[in-house]
Every structure is written in C-alpha cells, then in structure tokens.
Structure 1
C-alpha cells in the first residue's frame, strides 16, 4: 500500500541538461532588408499588417514583392521574435499548376536549414497556409542587398567590394561543402546587415549537388522560340540569365562550376558596373560560348590579377573553370602587393634579426621610436570605444532579459584583460629599449611579445564574434568565454616561455608560422563560444595552409582545435581520428603540453562520448603519465576532471570524489575562488556527493557553485537556472520539499523567460518541478507539469529519446499518486522499453524504471510480478552502486512489502531491516519513514499490531507532512487492532481520508472510507 514517489533523483532528470540552442529574441527598432528585390505586382497576396498567418506569425510590414511572391516582416508569437516571412502563391491555389512553387519553397527551407554558417541566412520554419501558399520563416536581417551596398556613393574601393564578396563566397562555399548548389547566386540574393556581416540567402533553387555522371533529370533547355525573347522569362528558366553559366541555358544540370560562374559574374558587375557580357536577349547569352573573356573598362582601377581570377571563373567551358569556389577565393585573397610587403618585411628581418625567437610580424614595436606609451593603440579595433558600443548593441538586440547585465560584465572583464595586456606590452618595449645589446634579454622580450600578440589575436576574434550581430547563444557564453581567454600571466613566466617549443630558425618560415598562428587562434574562441560548425569550416580552410609549412607544433594545435570542434559538434569518431593526428604531430614537435591535452581529449572521446569504458580503462594510465610529464597544472586539472567523470559513470563514486577534490584544489590555485571553472568543479563534486548519499556536503558545494555563478554571470542567467535545479534535487533528498519547490520554480521562471516555454531545457525543469510537487502530495499539479514536459520533449527529441523516458517515469509516478495504477504501469513499461533499447538491460536508469514498475504492480495486487521486477532492479543497482548505497533502500522496502503480501515474512523482515540500516545517519531524517512503515505493515500482517505501533509512530514523526498520509492510516489500523487508542485511530484515519480525497486518489479513498465505515 505504498504512496508512489521518487525518493532519489536516480532517474536522471535530477540534473539539468543542455539540450538544443537558445532562441533569438526580437531586436527593438530593427528594420530588415528586402529579402526579395522589389518588383511590381504582389503575386496575388493581400496581407495587411496585424493579420495572423499559420497560427503564430503576426504581419508587421511588407518588405518586398516579386513575381513569385512577397516577403513580410512578421512577429513569431511562439518563439517571441521577429522574422522575415517569405510567401509564394502556389498554382494549385489559383486553380492549376504542377506544384513546382511549393516544391521549390520547401527545397529552399530544407537547403538553408542544413547550413549553420555566419555568411548564410538562417531558416527557422516552413509550411503551407490554408490558401495553399507556402511560407518560409527566416532570419530577420537589418541592412540591404549586396547590390545596393555596392552602389554606394561615393563608390566603394575595389578592395572593399572584394572583401564583401569574399564573405559571400565563404557562405556559398559552405553550401557546397554541405552538398548543395545554389543555382541562383546574384547580388540581390546576398544581404549586408548593418552589423557589416554578409549573408547569402534565397536558396529556393538549391538542390543536392551532383557528381559527374549524375543521372538526375536535367533542367529543361530554353526553347528555340525563346532565344530572341527579352531577359525576363518568369517560369521558363530556373535562375537569373545574366548570372547563369552557358551550359545551364542549354539545359544541363547545375553544379558547383555553374555557381562559380554566377559568383564571378556578380563580382565582375560589382567591380565594373556592368555584367561580364553585353546582353539584350537570350541569344546573346548563348553566343558567349563562342566569345572571348570579358574585357574590363579602360578606366578600371581594378588590378589585372583580380580580373584574371574572375575571368577564369567565367570561362564558357565548365571544365576550364576552377573546380571549387575555394580556389577562386584563394586567388582573390592572394594580393601580390600584400605578398611584396610580406617579402620585404621578411627580408628585413633576415638581415637585422638573427635571434632565436625573431618575429617578423611584430618588428613595428621596435620601430616606434623612444616612446612605448603608444602601444595602447594596438587595441584599436580590438577593444576600444566603438567596439564596446558594437558589442553592447549586438547583445542587447537579442532581447534576452540578462543581455544588458551580461554586456556590462563582459566589458568589465575585457577592460581588466586589456589593461593588463597594455601593461605587459609596455614592459616588453621598455625592456628591449633598455638592453639593446643583451641577446638573452632581447630573445626573452621577443618571446613575451609573441605570446602577447597571440593573446591579442584571440581577444580580437572574440570581440569580433560578439559584435557581429544579435546572437542569444553568444550572450549565454560571453562571460565564460571572456574568463577562458588565455591567461596573460603565462607571457611573464620566464621558465614557461623558455621551456616552450621555439619558433623555426629560418626567418621566412618563422614569419609564415607567426602569421598563420594569428589566423589559427580564432578557432579557440569559436570553440569556447560553441560555434562548432563555423569553427570547423575555418579549420578546414586553414589546415591546407598550415600543413605545407611543416611546423609540427602549429600543425598539432590546429588539428587539436579541429578535433575539439568536432567533439563539440557531436562527430566523435571524426574527432578521434583527428586527435590521433594531433598526438602524432605534437610528439614530432616535442610539445609535451599539447600532446597531453590531445591524449586527454582522446580519453574523453573513448570513455565518455563513445561509452567504451574498457578501452578507457586501458588508456587512463597512459594519459596520466603523459599529463605528469607535461607538468602543466591547467592540463592536469582537465585530465583529473575527465578521469573523475569516467569513474562517476561506472559508479565508482568515492574514487570520482577524490579526483574532483583535486580538480577543485588545482583550479582554486590557478584562478582564485570565484572563477566559473571553480564553480564547475564544485558542481561535479556536489553531484557525486549527492549520488553517494552525502546530501549535506553536496548542498554546501552546490550552494558555493551557485553563489559564484550568480556573482559572475548574473542572477537571471540560464546557467543559474540549471544550478538552482540541481540544488533543488538535493533539498528533495533532504526531505525539505518546500525549499526544493522554491528552487525549481525560480529556475523554471528564469528558463522560460530566457529560452521560451517550449524549449527542451524548459521541459526538463517542468519535470523537476513536477517531481517536487509529487513529494508534496500535489499529484494533479505534478501530472499537468509532466504532461506538458512530455509533449515538448516528444516534439523536440522524438518519442524514443532517453529524456522522454525519464519524463514518462515521472508522469507514471504522478498517475500512481492519483490512484490511476494501470495508466501509470503503461507509462512505466513504455519508459522501460526506451531505456533498455538505449542502454541495455543492466543500466542504472533501467533499474530505476524497474523499481517503479515493481511498485505499481504491487499497487495492482500483482505481487509475484512485482517481486520479480524488484529483485532484478536490486541486482542491477547493487552491481552499479555497490551494496551499501542508500538508494538501495527504495527497492528493498518495496520488495519487503511485496514479500509481506506473499506471506514470506522472514524474507520480508531481512529486506526491510537492510533498507532501514542503509538509511541510518547520525541524525534521524525523512528517508527512514518508508522502511519503518514497511516494518509496521509486516508486524500487522503477522498479527502483532502492538509491535507495529512504535515503528509507525516513529515513521509518522519523520515523514514530511504532505507525504505521511499512508503512514498515518497504517498507524490508525495498528492502534485500533492493538486497542491502544481507538479515538486517535479514527482521527488519524479520518485525516487520511480527507488527504486522499483532496488529492483525487480514488482507490485509497475507497479503502480508508470502507475501513472507517466498518468501525463507526
């Protein structure tokens, strides 16, 4: 007769998890660019501001109209943000057609949604409206088209134009890397935001790229009758003729080479004010197959090397064009003037600097003259007033409730960082000036200068990332990334600098290495900021440039950063392959610290990400040895954290605790006691203490972690919400349910405001709150929370995701609390099937669900089935947690009660006494109430009601007020049957009757009502 509840958070929902990305919020006062070039006609649309579409989009304004449809500014009520809504009227809606418009629109949404790149417009949603028209909801961009941007007055310099097209080309190249062909690239389909970021859009004609020999159905060729027609041919040709490759106009299939042509045609027009070939008709376009490369205007200021790069991409024969857009971009980046400047700089260094760590790219510092104070100017454009203003605007434009506070915190952190940077940079300059003839001092000064400049490169990458536009994900991670910037103290550590791998001796190679290092450093910022896909694109571009230089340490660092980005993106196998290459290169370059970091990542990938504990067990001693040889404290702390989590995962909690304690000590020594890395170590430590049943210690560690986070990122940050939820679990374990409820409600409020009501993280916190409401006996409220959480997670993650099974378990407990035992059993059985399919039959989470299945089977009177399930659960838990874990008291208690109903009293006694012993602590607590109640029921079953009374009196005192109903009723029965205090027995039973009536538990209400009726 148990009251179902979840005493421990072993079901896994106890720990707040990060699922998915935060949503962007609307920016006040924005006016987006026209996503479609203006044209006459609206395609039949008459949508007024205020009109609602698709049940969630409120029209704000018309942004642009064209032959195929209209683009609207709209407000997305579901995700609380502005979007650009593109509508296309289907031919079916007008009484005919073949549905191509709908197909193309859906293809556009699918194509763009597959891309996650800073130079590609993001797509959020797509669907069909009631009238049959199709819509796409996409990123709301404030700015103008690339065509409008290029038509600026006064005219833009050719270098500025090429810079914008290089960004657009990177977005288009990312599409190609994803297997997509745009098919309609032109300046009208590229947007330039007010933040300066260039984005490619309108992938409506995109499709999966085809390899040579592709048998896909080609585009229909232009009919002969159309050859003399004007250029505007709506519906006849898929694309814009002025930018289409000749082969497309003759019906061949589009591919990367045709996109290369379109890109080069667009750039030619932007630089010279006209398209590559004079065109009045389709026939003139087709004749270009027989023509010569386009000739730039005589007065053009564009250098010949640029025109050559463009002409190669405009070759009539696609086999003669560059095979990829990356080749075109490299040629446009290969400025001979810049190469000459680099050559002169390297030549001067070769003559004037013959020192171990001579760094060509920073010789300017020694040419500044007598004063070193001007070095502060090195931070112009990196962290100065305009950059600060741009970063603040970008953050606040996300609309996140804590954006303004986060911007202030980031500004304080970066102000301190840059002040320390300038101080050290001036010291280096003064040291160089004071000891011009001291080779060792000069060499050390150059090493310090190189170290500081690498730090500046990372800082510049970070501030550039923050200031490029509204990005809620970046706001969430801004403070942690700022704290994670490489410490400047290292640049003043003589021993560390001299122990580092020296740069190449050849001055030309050395200059190339240092220049590439400055380009590699932004990968670390993208990694810290969670921009994994963007970082992977950049690393793929950098590796072909880094590898030919042959400098093993630089190659190893680039490979390691790529491996970490792959791990962040979930490509664990790819990451493992890359990290093996990084290990080899680090060894070849004699970089012990980098080698240790790479081995540590491999252990994480093998043991945790890919769940290969036996392989990890073999690797761990090797990793420990390599880390010790490296002698780097930060790397040692990271390694201890990974090994602690490995031990934690396999239930070796005491060993895991020892590792986490060492991590905490190291990080406090490295960062002080108020750093987010310290909070992370405290959280790991608190969670393992919770799993060990040491709840008071866990509470102390987790409250310390929460205090650090609130002070560092602010009280309304999503990280704070996650920590509040974890702390709430500990209060639940301590039986302090109102304290737990308050933490969970505050966490939920933060998360809903930050991420919205339908985000998976919000669902997780809803389920946690539901668990606490169950412990308070508020089962109907709990059921509502769990039903809502389940709907969110099933939609976001799919019906068979492990997180769905955890909410199913919690929902089953709520239903059991309402007396709906069969409904509860069905939820438990579904959860069990998901867990067994995901983790196998002997996983901890499987055992937790088995405990609940056993409990509800007992409630249904199916005691033998209940016993079998509980025995199996107990076996798994003993194997995973060990025989002395307090969590074992739950299945032991339920098993003892099932055995009692089966008349197996001796076995029941042993199980219940063991459950009671596992819960014993120096002070009495709520966890003792369940096994004491079970022992009381056993004494009643044996006909010993007097012996049951003291057990049940003690249980009644310990049980939380809202969770003691069953204990009171069992005590009433014992008092009545022992004839000790029958008036009190009736009082207790009446109180239980009212409780079960209030909670809506019909079976329990019927039982107690029948008992009372027979005794009055």
Structure 2
C-alpha cells in the first residue's frame, strides 16, 4: 500500500517495520541523517544509539556488524564536539573491524575485505584529533588513512584526496608549511580532475593553500585563493563550508592589517555558525575571538573584550582548558586587557598562552613564537626590559636550535624578525638604564 512505502519518522516505527537487525540499523542511520539535516541533534543521536543497540542485542557486543553504526555515531559526535565519546566509538569500531580482518586471514588493513571502511574510521579519528588540537596524533592518523585509501581506492580518488587534505592540515597546524604546500597543491589538482574547477571540494583546499602561502610570506599569491574559495563556497550552498572559508579569508585580512574588512567576513561567518551549531560550539567561540581581533585592529578594545571573553568560554568548554586552539585567543584577550590598562588581568592570559604553546605545540612553532613576541611586547610596555629579554632569549634560542636544519628554517627565521627587533629594544633599554 502507499502507506507502507512511507518511511517511519521515529525509532519505534523503524524497528516495527524492519525485522532484520542489520536492515533496521541501516534504516535508523538514514533516519539519523534526516533528523540531523533538520537540526534535530538529539533525535539524530537517539536514532544512532538505537542503530547500535539493535545489532548488539541480536548478535552480541563483539560482532563486526556493530562497526558501521558505531562509525556513524562517532561522526555525529565529532560534529557535535563530543570528542572523547567519539574516540571511544571509533576505537571500538576499529577493534571490531580488525578482529574481523584477522578472522578472514588478512595480515594487514590493506588486505582486509573491508579495508575501505577501516580507512574511513582512521580518517574520522584523525578529524577528531585535529579538532582537539592533538596535531601530532592527527598527523599520524591522517597519513595512515591516506596511505590505506591510496592503496585500496587508487591515487586519484575523492576519499584519497580528502585524507591527503587532512594530512596537509595537520602539517600546517604544526607550522610545517613547506611540507604542507605541495600536499595542498596535489589535493587541488586531484579535486579539479575529479570535479572541475568550480566544485565545492576546491573551496577549502584553496583556502588552506592560502593559509600556507600567507604563513610563508606570500600574501600576494594567497589573496586571490581566499577570494576564489569564498566564491566557490557561496555557489555551493554549503553553509558550513562558507563559514570556514569566510573565517580563513577574514583571518588573512586581519594579518594584513585590514580590520574593517576582516570584521565583515567574521560577522558573516558568525551568523552562519550560530545558525548551524548554536552559540556554544567551539567553532563559534573561535569566530567570536576572531571578531575581537578585527576590533583590536580598529583600535576598539572595549568592544573586543566581550567577544574574546565569550569566545574563550566556548572554546574551553568544547576543547578543554589546555587545547592549543586556545593559544591565540588567550593572547588576543591579553592584548585587549592591556590596551584597556588592566595589566594585572592581562599577564595571566599571556602566561597561560605561553604555557599551552610550550607544552602542546612543537618547538619553535610559529604560533608559539608569536605569543612569545606578544608577551615580550607587553613586558616592554610595562617597563620590564629584563623580563622581556629573558623571554626573547628563550624563544630565539629554541628557534635557532630547532629550526636551522628543517625545511622551514628560512621561513621561521624570517618570521621571527619582530622577536629580534624586540630583543634589540630590550637590550637598549637595559643599557640606557645602566648608563
């Protein structure tokens, strides 16, 4: 009958319609997608919980058929920012897949009959690590997923390109831009071959390549890539993608000192992000902090303060108190309070940013060096040149010792120019004070 062809819209209805547990689980995964598209996160999670439990009740907790709904639930948890729980689902799903691999006589993930599914779970694990700022772990997982997808799916394939793009992102997050640049260019070529020059897949890669060029001092080359990324994202209709590309373009404008234009991009991104994930998501927090930076660029610290405060709260709640994604927000918040003549409140923020950078980022990471420069500038403004000199000596010593043999050493030394300038200022003030 026509009535029986209508898909049920609730969990009991799906379970009543499908007697087979695997079929019921698949239908519940579809229901979850429908609910999530309708902004019903709670309903989507309810459907995926049921998708896991219906298979588990039928076949036991160790059956490989549970892996698919577990993976679907983990992806939803990543989107919702529930990373610890997502990792638990991914770890369990991978263990089940690999147990099934061994049972099939395969000796490696690439030989497994479900190798593509294993690669997807590893990719999802890398995405979760990346979102948490666990950059080294994200790099390892992204590289594993890329190697596996390349072996199983082929070198020019959409999911292979996705993994390579994520791998490049993890390199960028660690300040390894010379390594990330060719990876982004390779991904861009793959997507253009697969989808054409105006497809939405290109947008985030263009934006990421722009980030890499910006960080290596090639702003003139980066600017048209950011603009093209926003144009592609606008045509795509993908609001998440557009919010990401607007954020990257806004940050580029901020780094070029154009706070007014940066603020326009950030506010567009904020409106999209709040509508998509609500006001408390860590991405919303990052965008609000970015608005704070654009206001600082325009010498409007009183307006910037509430943006940084709200942004930091959202990031802390979603990412944890020691996430490296907090570092720049803390530094910007500290600058704001210093500009408002509240140095006693500003200094703990600079110190916290410095601590997180030194413990969670690689040695001589550009963001860590930036924060060292901010703190040294604050100390100079407070007429504490000896403290500033100690800060700068430590940072520059780390930079020279760590980066001189790496592929990015020229970029690192060039980018540290402001630190050398501040060291001269600190030395000069101390010399003037003694004579």
TM-score using structure 1 length: 0.36
Deviation, 1:744, is 0.7
Secondary structure, in 3 states, of the residue corresponding to 2:58?
helix
Within the candidate set 703, 712, 718, 2:185 is matched to 703
Report the alpha carbon displacement of residue 870 of structure 1 after superposing the two structures with TM.
0.8
Residues 606, 856 of structure 1: alpha-carbon distance in 2 compared, 3 angstrom cutoff: closer
CA deviation vs aligned residue, 1:120-179 (integer Å, no higher than 9, x gap): xxxxxxxxxxxxxxxxxxxxxxxxxxxxxxxxxxxxxxxxxx7xxx2xxxxxxxxxxxxx
Deviation (angstroms), 1:789 = 4.3
Contact kept, 8 Å, 2:29 with 2:51, in 1: the verdict is yes
Q: Which residue is equivalent to 1:563?
A: 29
Cα RMSD (Å) of the superposition? 3.7
Cα drift, residue 831 of structure 1:
2.7
Higher helix share goes to which structure?
2
Match of 1:943, SS state, is: helix
Residue equivalent to 1:639: 121
Look at both structures and tell me which one has the larger radius of gyration over its CA atoms: 1
Instruction: Report if aligned partners of 2:67, 2:93 keep a CA contact under 8 Å in 1.
Output: no
CA 543–686 in structure 1, closer or farther in 2 if over 3 Å, else same: same
- CA 1:560/1:865 → structure 2, altered by over 3 Å: closer, same or farther? same
**Structure 1 residue 663 and structure 2 residue 134: aligned?**
no
Q: Over residues 177-220 of structure 1, what are the superposed CA-to-partner deviations in whole Å (9 max), with x where a residue is unaligned?
A: xxxxxxxxxxxxxxxxxxxxxxxxxxxxxxxxxxxxxxxxxxxx
Kindly provide the CA deviation profile for residues 284-341 of structure 1, in whole angstroms up to 9, marking residues without a partner as x. Answer: xxxxxxxxxxxxxxxxxxxxxxxxxxxxxxxxxxxxxxxxxxxxx34xx8xxxxxxxx
Q: Is 1:689 the equivalent of 2:171?
A: yes
Aligned to 1:924: 410
Q: Which runs of 5+ in 2 are unaligned?
A: 102-111
- 3-state DSSP of counterpart to 2:82: coil
- Of 403, 406, 422, the match for 1:934: 422
Q: Which has the higher contact order (CA 8 A, sep 6+)?
A: 1
Distance 1:625 1:762 in 2: 36
Q: Quickly say closer, same or farther: Cα 1:784–1:617, change in 2 above 3 A.
A: closer
Q: Residue in 1 aligned with 2:155?
A: 673
Q: Which residue of 2 aligns with 1:891?
A: 371
Given candidates 84, 90, 98, the residue that maps to 1:613 is 84
Find the partner of 2:329 among 849, 866, 874.
849
Equivalent residues of 2:315, 2:326 under 8 A apart: yes
Partner of 1:740: 222
Contact 2:304 2:336 in 1 (8 A): yes
Cα distance per residue 1:495-522 (max 9 Å; x no partner): xxxxxxxxxxxxxxxxxxxxxxxxxxxx
Alignment of 1:801-880 (within 5 A): 802-836=282-316, 839=319, 841-880=321-360
CA distance in 1 between partners of 2:149 and 2:93 (Å): 23
Equivalent residues of 2:73, 2:89 under 8 A apart: no
Find 1:585's aligned residue among 58, 63, 72.
58
Q: Mind listing any 5+ residue stretches in structure 1 that lack a counterpart?
A: 1-161, 167-328, 334-533, 548-553, 946-1016
CA contact (8 A) 1:766 1:789 kept: yes
Q: Is the counterpart of residue 546 in structure 1 residue 26 in structure 2?
A: no
Larger strand share, 1 or 2:
1
Aligned: 1:778 with 2:263: no
Aligned to 2:106: none
**1:624 paired residue number:** 95
Shift of 1:679: 0.9
* Counterpart Cα distance in 1 of 2:276 and 2:214: 28
Residue 564 to residue 889, structure 1, CA distance change in 2 (3 Å): farther
Task: Give the match's secondary structure for 1:924.
Answer: helix
Alignment map for 1:193-592 (pairs within 5 Å): 329-330=3-4, 537=9, 543-547=15-19, 555-560=21-26, 562-563=28-29, 565-566=31-32, 569=36, 570=41, 571-586=44-59, 592=64
CA 1:734–1:884 in 2, change beyond 3 Å: closer, same or farther?
closer
Cα contact 2:87–2:125 (8 A) shared by 1: no
Change (3 A) 1:779 1:675: same
* Aligned partners of 1:721 and 1:747 also within 8 Å: yes
Asked if structure 2 preserves the Cα contact closer than 8 Å seen for 1:650 and 1:880, the reply is: no
- 1:833 shift after superposition: 4.1
Whole-Å separation in 1 of the counterparts to 2:170 and 2:397: 21
Q: CA deviation at 1:538?
A: 9.9
Shift of 1:937: 2.5
Q: In 2, distance between residues paired with 1:915 and 1:597? A: 47
Q: Following superposition of structure 1 onto structure 2, how do residues 111-190 of structure 1 map, counting pairs within 5 Å?
A: 166=2
Contact 1:576/1:605 (8 A) holds in 2: no
C-alpha displacement of 1:850: 1.4
Q: Structure 1 CA distance, aligned partners of 2:153 and 2:313?
A: 45
CA change 1:888–1:565 in 2 (3 A) is: farther
- In structure 2, what is the Cα distance between the partners aligned to 1:864 and 1:669? 56
Aligned-partner SS, 1:674: coil
CA contact (8 A) 2:77 2:85 kept: no
Residue by residue over 1:63-108, the C-alpha shift from the partner in whole angstroms, topping out at 9 and shown as x without a partner, is xxxxxxxxxxxxxxxxxxxxxxxxxxxxxxxxxxxxxxxxxxxxxx
Displacement of 1:851 after TM fit? 1.0
Give TM-score, length-normalised by structure 2. 0.79
